[in-house]
Amino acid sequence: MKYALFTGAGGGLGSACVRQLTAAGWTVFAADISSAVPAADLATPSTIPLILDVTNQASIDDAVATVKQTTDKLDAVINFAGLHTMGSLVEGDVVATMQKMIDVNLMGMLRVNRAFFEMLLGGGRIINCSSECGYMKAQPFNGLYTITKYAVEAYTDSLRRELLGLGIPVIKIQPGSFNTHLLVDAQSGFDNLISTTQYHKRMLKRMQPLMARELSSANDPEYVAKAVLEAAQKRRPKINYRVKNSKLMGVMELIPDSWLDVVYKALS
């Protein structure tokens, strides 16, 4: 019997991944902040719902105690709990928003991995959900999210190298755009920004067609679920799994930064 702890299990990507894992014979502690999730389609004998707030150490400690009632070891800790919004770095309540996103997207991951680390000794592994934004060029108005994912990349790389001697693989999943609530959050953040900005309305309006194009090309979460299953089961997993990354952002990777700045200045 293989056991996994999965945070963010109630989200679109999370629920798809949990279904893949349980179908492959795993028992999954499907953790999320709300008692309303995991959703009914996760309620299988191999899925154990778990309320876990990754920003609250007491909640994490309670989750550890609950997991230990079933097993004394885990084969995988999979971190998918996360927030996304689009916004300005100079307007609105940016400091509070940034603190909240760091607390969930980065510190939540660190807290969970630290708390469950000893249960992974002897054959377990860690899988962290990053993003295409974690390694691609930073784009305007997506900085809040991008900053956290750059940090997740650095954290995951450092953790992987730290745990090499203990035989614990640490793997990154780098998804592109997928049809989940995070996509809705991105659109909502963009719409709110364009209606409230004092300084960037012209630029945002010119960027709207690109935003619409990216949202319309969102992929099926099952692609990520298959990558996570491979990362969890393969004897020698990849260091990172890039899943359906944006072709448009891929083109931007080829453009020198100074040229890209000229493009954005022309839009403003």
Catalytic sites, residue numbers? 145
Look at residues 167, 162, 222, 216 and name the one whose alpha carbon lies nearest to residue 12: 222
3-state secondary structure 172-216: EEEECCECCHHHHHHHHHHHHHHHHCCCCHHHHHHHHHHHHHHHH
In contact, 45 and 25? CB cutoff 8 Å: no
Integer CA distances (angstroms), 106 to 22, 110, 130, 131, 155, in order: 27, 6, 10, 12, 8
Q: β-pairing, 125-129 with 240-243?
A: unpaired
In contact, 30 and 6? CB cutoff 8 Å: yes
Provide the 3-class DSSP secondary structure of residue 14: helix
Residues 6+ apart with CB under 8 A from 212: none
In contact, 205 and 194? CB cutoff 8 Å: yes
Provide the 3-class DSSP secondary structure of residue 238: coil
Look at residues 81, 103, 101 and name the one whose alpha carbon lies nearest to residue 89: 101
- For 217, phi and psi rounded to 5 degrees? -100, 15
> Cβ atoms within 10 A of the Cβ of 70, count?
11
Strand order in the sheet with 240-243: 47-51, 26-32, 2-7, 76-79, 125-129, 170-175, 240-243
